[in-house]
Structures are given as structure tokens and as C-alpha cells.
Amino acid sequence: MALLCFVPVICFGADGPTSKPNDSSPASPAAESAPVRASSAPVIVFGFLGGHVHHDDSVHSTVQVAHSLRKDYPSAVHIETFENRRVGDAHGLIMYLLGGGRTGTLTDEQKRSARIILYGHSWGASAAVALAQTLQKQGIPVLLTIQVDSVAKSGQNDAVIPDNVRYAANFYQDKGFIRGQQKIQAADPSRTQILGNFRMDYSDNPVSCPKYPWYTRVFMRSHIEIECDQNVWNRVEGLIREQLPTSAAGSTRTDTP
């Protein structure tokens, strides 16, 4: 795994044939709960990028999803993307948005009003879980976490979803040198619903990622293909949208920059 530190995990969406997952589409949480309604605190959607990718690099799928959501939710939802190393910054912003001000101190009511969605790819997926774990220690709920080919850094545990998370989904591939977390599970199944662990296989349906450097295509082929797979990221965005306010609902993403 030392190669992961040497070679940036560069994540972006490029046009190419989509793979056919071995599992069916994710179970929809919408069947059990209505989409979130408006309240004083905004819905918070934070995405984390893999490797050493900049938070605003618009050729990457994590950023593309954020851009698509902003078009339909310019004010009702606070959407940000972060480098995976900036979990602390993301946490501080959450405290501010929930009303903690400079001290970051929240009332019980402010904590209960939190509506937070976290997603990411590779190290970024593990960062999303790490942030959810930090929020759990503070009694702050999380609506949804989504991991795409999650790779944990040293000291992180991306396999166990803390009990403050209501829904969690995991997409992964298991080929090549870098393989994503294959199975996530709930720390408390009575409080967290795992929507699925969805295996993607590109052996028969490779995804073209022509904008990636040659070394990522050679050493991280499948890990990169899942990040380029628009089928996966459309599903990611669809799961996020199911939890967003109905007052500004829009259609799912149909194009990419």
C-alpha cells in the first residue's frame, strides 16, 4: 500500500462504458422516510476526494456530484468538497453551520436538527466515515454515508459505521493492487441501515479513463475505473438527492463536465 502514498489517486469522471454490478441497485431509504423538510439549519453535504486531489478539481467525480447538486440546491443545502486530509476543517465547518459559532458549542436541539450527508472515494471515503465517527462522539446524527472504493489510512476504520448514521452504502471493486473495502457493517443494526455492499466488476466492461496519468492506469486500473464509472456516481447522487429538501428537488445528473 506504500504505492498509494507515492502515486496520487486521481479521481474524475471520464466518458466510457459503464460496468454491470453483481448486486442489484441500492435499497432506497425513501420508502421508509420522507425526504428532509426545511428547517433553520441547512442540510449539509460534504464530499471527500481520494489521494492528493485538490478539493475543487472539477474533473473528478466527487466534485462533479457537488456541482450538479448546487445547480438545484443553491441555498437550501450547504455543499462542499474537501481533500481527505481536511477532516478537521470539515468538522469545524459543520459545528459553525449548526450554530456553534466560534466556540463550536452546540445545544441538544442544535445537534438533533443536524442533517448531514457524507460521501467520498478511496481515502476520501474513509475520511467520510472518520468524520461520522467524530460526530458520533458528540451526539450529532448523520443521515447518510456513501463510500466508493474506500481505502483506510493508518488509524482509520472504514468498515464499521457508527450508530449515529441512519443509512450507509458501499460501492467497491476487488481487482488489482488497490482494492476497496468490501464489506461495511453497522455498529448497531437497530439504528443504522446498510443499503448494500455493491461489487463492481470491470473485467468484461472496462471503463475508459483517458485523462488519468499513465501510471494510475497501469497500477490502479480498477480503482480508477470505479471512479470514472458514471453508473456508480449517478447512483451516489441519487441516494443523496433522496435525502434533500423537497422544496428544491431536481432531477438526477444526466451529464458530466
**Quick check: 51 pLDDT over 90?**
no
- Residue among 167, 107, 93, 97 at smallest CA distance from 138: 107
- Averaged pLDDT of the chain: 82
Of residues 16 and 158, more confidence is placed in: 158
Which of the four pLDDT bands, split at 50, 70 and 90, describes residue 34? very low
Q: What are phi and psi of 46, to 5 degrees?
A: -120, 130
pLDDT of residue 219: 63
pLDDT of residue 2: 38
Cell of 136: 458520533
pLDDT tens per residue, range 204-250: 888 877 776 656 655 666 677 888 899 999 999 999 999 998 755 54
User: Considering the entire predicted model, what is its pTM?
Assistant: 0.81
Tell me what the mean pLDDT of segment 123-132 comes to: 97
DSSP alpha helix (H) spans, the chain? 2-6, 61-72, 87-95, 108-112, 123-137, 214-219, 221-228, 230-241
pLDDT of residue 37: 44
Specify whether the CB–CB gap between 227 and 121 falls below 8 A: yes
The correct CATH number of 11-24+40-243 out of 1.10.3470, 3.40.50, 3.40.720, 1.10.8 is: 3.40.50
**Quick check: 35 pLDDT over 80?**
no
pLDDT tens per residue, range 185-194: 999 999 999 9
Of residues 96 and 58, more confidence is placed in: 96
* Bridge partners of residue 160, in order along the sequence: 185
Of residues 117 and 177, more confidence is placed in: 117
Helix (H, G, I), strand (E, B) or coil at 181: coil
Tell me what the mean pLDDT of segment 89-102 comes to: 92
Which of the four pLDDT bands, split at 50, 70 and 90, describes residue 197? very high
In the chain, what is the straight-line distance between the N-terminal and C-terminal CA atoms, in Å?
A: 31
pLDDT of residue 218: 59
pLDDT of residue 49: 95
pLDDT of residue 25: 54
pLDDT tens per residue, range 72-85: 998 889 999 999 99
Of residues 11 and 73, more confidence is placed in: 73
Query: Please, what is the angle between helix 87-95 and helix 123-137, to 10°?
Result: 40
pLDDT of residue 12: 31
Of residues 24 and 86, more confidence is placed in: 86
Specify whether the CB–CB gap between 180 and 148 falls below 8 A: yes
- Residue among 255, 256, 51, 218 at smallest CA distance from 151: 51
Query: Please, what is the angle between helix 61-72 and helix 230-241, to 10°?
Result: 40
CA–chain centroid gap for 37, Å, is 22
Tell me what the mean pLDDT of segment 190-203 comes to: 94
pLDDT of residue 53: 81
CA–chain centroid gap for 52, Å, is 16
